[in-house]
């Protein structure tokens, strides 16, 4: 595989058509070696338009242990408009690739991963890539009290939730943004929330599907 051609094709054929036109984001995707964050068994799929399992077996997908599709990560990064002075919280480190992108844009990043093995691998991936302003911590982002670490300028949920988590919204600084993929299949919506002087303002700029992050609340549903 011609890696650089595959990377170019990913950007031009998947990411640009998804309205990712921010030159800084596109340059970053060209520079950060996505293939170095992919498990060796799936490295040939590093630039494919799909979610890549981070552990063997179907259980990995069911548990949300995947790399999100490149276009989804790119669009999230563009919409959040992360700045160099900002502090970022990520829920769901996975392979560390999104954390690496965030690290290049932010002052520092705290990334939580519920699976200890994935957290160790992500830390190693980030170290090899020279991204030293990201701290990966093994923790349940749905249940960990993060008040001592906040507030944050940016919060990213690298997976889907049924509803916006109030505990994380409370950690946003004034002007801070939270991005989450919210809803249930077959329709989920990327939801961007900003804390303004008037309160929380939200928009849903695009639709996608993403695996669930573990342990976030699921609303009760009626069954007939």
- Name the CATH code of domain 3-208 (choices 3.40.50.150, 3.40.50.620, 6.10.140.120, 3.40.430.10): 3.40.50.150
Q: What is the pLDDT of residues 32-74, one digit of tens each?
A: 999 999 999 999 999 999 999 998 877 777 777 999 999 999 9
61 contacts 211 by C-beta, under 8 angstroms: yes
38: left (phi over 0), alpha (psi -120 to 50) or beta: beta
pLDDT at 64: 75
Q: What is the pLDDT of residues 85-98, one digit of tens each?
A: 999 999 999 999 99
Q: Tokens at residue 181, please?
A: 């993929």
pLDDT at 221: 66
73 contacts 98 by C-beta, under 8 angstroms: yes
Q: Residue 196 pairs with which residues in a beta bridge? A: 199
For the chain, the average pLDDT equals: 95
Kindly list the domain boundaries of the chain, sorted by start residue. 3-208
Q: Record the pTM.
A: 0.95
């Amino acid at each position: 595989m011609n890696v650089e051609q595959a990377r170019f094709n990913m950007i031009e054929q998947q990411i640009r058509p998804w309205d990712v036109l921010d030159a800084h984001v596109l340059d970053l995707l060209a520079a950060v070696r996505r293939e170095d964050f992919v498990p060796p068994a799936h490295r040939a799929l590093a630039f494919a338009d799909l979610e890549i399992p981070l552990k063997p077996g179907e259980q990995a997908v069911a548990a949300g242990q995947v790399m999100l599709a490149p276009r989804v990560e790119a669009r999230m990064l563009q919409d959040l408009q992360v700045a160099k002075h900002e502090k970022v919280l990520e829920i769901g480190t996975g392979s560390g690739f999104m954390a690496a992108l965030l690290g290049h844009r932010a002052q520092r990043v705290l990334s939580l991963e519920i699976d200890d093995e994935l957290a160790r691998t992500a830390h190693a991936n980030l170290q090899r890539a020279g991204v030293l302003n990201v701290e990966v911590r093994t923790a349940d982002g749905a249940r960990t009290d993060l008040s001592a670490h906040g507030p944050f300028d940016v919060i990213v949920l690298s997976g889907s939730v049924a509803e916006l988590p109030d505990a994380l919204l409370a950690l946003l600084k004034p002007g801070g943004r939270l991005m989450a993929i919210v809803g249930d299949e077959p329709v989920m919506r990327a939801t961007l929330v900003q804390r303004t002087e008037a309160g929380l303002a939200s928009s849903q700029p695009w639709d996608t599907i993403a695996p669930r992050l573990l342990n976030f609340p699921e609303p009760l549903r009626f069954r007939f």
